Amino acid sequence: MAAKIPQDVTREDRLIGPLTLKQFLYVLGGAALVFIAYQYYTRKYLYFTEFVLISLVAVALSVSLAFIQINGRPFGLFALQLWHFWTSPKQAVWHKEPRQLVQAIKVQASDIKDTKSEVRERQSGGELKTQLEKLSHLLDTGGTMRAEDQDAVTTQINNLNPNRSSVSEAGLDVEDILTDTD
């Protein structure tokens, strides 16, 4: 028997008509504030302009919290992040703190594991360079290498990709390829 898999799990459930529970509570809160302001107005605690102002602010806030999204984010989250942006300092100042002493890490020879090429290089008596050391040397020198190192790297690259593309076999440059596409 096949099980039904829900498709849109990020969508909130519609509980009261077309509204989600959160939207309904925002609208209900705004309506409650308008009702309270109206009761104060009828008992002559508020002037008409104060009642209208409070009602407009309550309705605008509740409708925006319930329905408006800015850049795919709910208005409440947007307003909170905007407030945080306004109140946070705009200039970062770096205060150098003194270094804390780090205890030396002791590494024993048995902890180091060599690759086969490194073992062969060590046995032949040559200078031992790991792939990481070769890469760091390449990055440190900015791409300039000695001729023998450059030949070694070129042969390694050629060994990695034995099937060259038809473009390099035809002798076309980048400009030739770009003119063909126009």
Report yes or no: 51 and 37 within 8 Å, Cβ to Cβ: yes
- pTM score, two decimals? 0.47
Strands 19-20 and 69-70, by their bridges, are unpaired
Q: In this predicted structure, what is the pLDDT of residue 9? A: 78
Query: In what helix (H) or strand (E) does residue 19 lie, and over which residues does it extend?
Result: strand 19-20
Record the tokens describing residue 43, joined without a space: 């008992």
The more confidently predicted of residues 160 and 62 is 62
Q: What is the CA radius of gyration of the chain?
A: 35
The more confidently predicted of residues 17 and 77 is 77
Report yes or no: 33 and 61 within 8 Å, Cβ to Cβ: no
The more confidently predicted of residues 15 and 53 is 53
H helical segments located in the chain: 21-42, 48-67, 75-87, 116-124, 131-140, 147-160, 166-170, 174-181
CA distance 86 to 93: 18
Q: Is the pLDDT of residue 167 over 60?
A: no
Please list the residues that pair with 16 across neighbouring strands: 19
Residue 66 burial (CB count, 10 A)? 21
Give per-residue pLDDT as tens, 100-149: 666 666 766 665 666 666 666 666 665 556 667 777 777 777 666 665 56
Give per-residue pLDDT as tens, 54-98: 999 999 999 999 999 999 899 999 999 999 999 998 888 777 776
Query: In what helix (H) or strand (E) does residue 74 lie, and over which residues does it extend?
Result: strand 73-74
